[in-house]
Amino acid sequence: MKTRAAILWEPHTDWSVEDIELDPPKRGEILVKLAASGLCHSDEHMVTGDMVLDPELAEAFGLKQFPVIGGHEGAGVVEEVGPDTVGFEVGDHVVFSFIPSCGRCPSCSTGHQHLCDLGAFLLSGMQLSDFSYRHHSKDGKDLGIMVGLGTFSPYTVVNVDSAVKIRKDVPLERAALVGCGVTTGWGSSVYAADVQSGESVAVVGLGGIGMSAVQGAAMAGARHVIAIDPVDWKREKALTLGATHAAASMVDAQPLISEITQGAMADKAILAVGLATGDLIAPMMSLVKKAGRGVVTAVANMMADDVKLNLFEMSMMRKELVGCIFGNANPRYDIPRLLDLYMDGRLKLDEMVTTTYTLDEINQGYQDMRDGKNIRGVIVYD
């Protein structure tokens, strides 16, 4: 079939919205008509070059990351099911999970679906079923799809391991958000930080992930949730989503947290900025109390390996520094659960969407994100 998609031909260029050819699904795949796609920062990391495979490594494994159709935070309706494919039927409503879950690898079988072994192939852009392509440019070139999804198109073909069936009464424009940002942020608090009732939690960075971490900490029963971001309106918004205090920077947050915790400092801190850099780790850990935990959820440049950290403080104060991907969640369990919480009025998704765009407005949407105008921009399809 013919459809349209936003293609990134190479880093440091704009998204190009073009006509494409889409092949039908093969075994283990489904064709989905999307209702919406979130404009997540991870796609921006391909534009900036922070999430780009080393050329020599890619060549050694026969991988070609570009050109690629972006987008990985989407929801829609199944239009066609590949031959001999079980578990889905036409008309099912699905949310895409940006980390697939095969259910068979050691990680999946021990309850760590966010570490599924299929994740090793996501930046290849190829279909997980047979490592080939279903998306092609109008002149016949193969097009990769971001983490096996490619939601910057009203239609896409994906592997069933990347799709989670959901209840049909959930608005798909909101359901899309739990395919990445909301689950990642919420799980950063609930799972990675393991926030407990009565604790104090600092969240650094108030985009889609940070705002969801604020909600997760509040829902877990935190006494203090300190939202940290230089943008005034984002701090004000966080106070309506569960934050109890706000600060413009980690420097400003230090005396505030000391005061409200009687000098003990925060039990947990979560780094959810747009781009993680090594110089942010030490100030984040300075917000954490003895035996407290710092969580790095923000994506860093793939080659970044320099971190500033006081090692004496780490050992003598028994602090913990942990990583987090997809909120350390199990998408097949947590995506439907979070949507139940939304439908019950407990998880706020409507309030997370700042601006909606058409596919043709994608570059404006990302410029708005860079300018600090959005919590989450969303592309809405017809």
Cα-based angle 261, 265, 271 (whole degrees, multiple of 5): 125
CATH 3.20.20.70 at 185-325, yes or no: no
247/228 Cα distance (integer angstroms): 5
How many CA atoms does the CB half-sphere of 210 hold within 13 Å? 33
Is domain 2-179+348-380 given the CATH code 3.10.20.30 in the classification?
Answer: no
112 vs 42, 106, 191, CA distance in Å? 21, 8, 11
Tell me the domain boundaries of the chain.
2-179+348-380, 185-325
- State residue 282 phi and psi, 5-degree precision: -60, -45
- Beta strands 93-96 and 224-228: pairing type? unpaired
Separation between Cα atoms, residue 245 and residue 225, nearest integer Å: 6
The Cβ of residue 312 has, within 10 Å, a number of other Cβ atoms equal to 8
Using alpha carbons, select from 112, 115, 87 the residue that is nearest to residue 99: 115
How high is the pLDDT of residue 80?
Answer: 98
∠ CA 301-202-51, nearest 5°, is 10
Q: Do domains 2-179+348-380 and 185-325 have the same CATH topology?
A: no
Ordered strands of the 288-296 beta sheet: 245-247, 224-228, 200-204, 266-271, 288-296, 320-323
Q: What Å distances lie between residue 140 and 20, 136, 254, 271, 369, CA to CA?
A: 9, 6, 56, 42, 32
User: Across the chain, how many H-helices and E-strands are there?
Assistant: 12, 18
- Rounded to whole angstroms, the maximal C-alpha distance in the chain is 65
pTM: 0.97
Preceding peptide of 24 cis, ω within 30°: no
pLDDT (tens place) for every residue of the chain, 382 residues total:
999 999 999 999 999 999 999 999 999 999 999 999 999 999 999 999 999 988 877 777 777 889 999 999 999 999 999 999 999 999 999 999 999 999 999 999 999 999 999 999 999 999 999 999 999 999 999 999 999 999 999 999 999 999 999 999 999 999 999 999 999 999 999 999 999 999 999 999 999 999 999 999 999 999 999 999 999 999 999 999 999 999 999 999 999 999 999 999 999 999 999 999 999 999 999 999 999 999 999 999 999 999 999 999 999 999 999 999 999 999 999 999 999 999 999 999 999 999 999 999 999 999 999 999 999 999 999 8
For residue 72, the model assigns a pLDDT of 98
SS3 of 228-273: the string is ECCCHHHHHHHCCCCCCEEECCHHHHHHHHHHHCCCCCEEEEEECC
Helix (H, G, I), strand (E, B) or coil at 322: strand
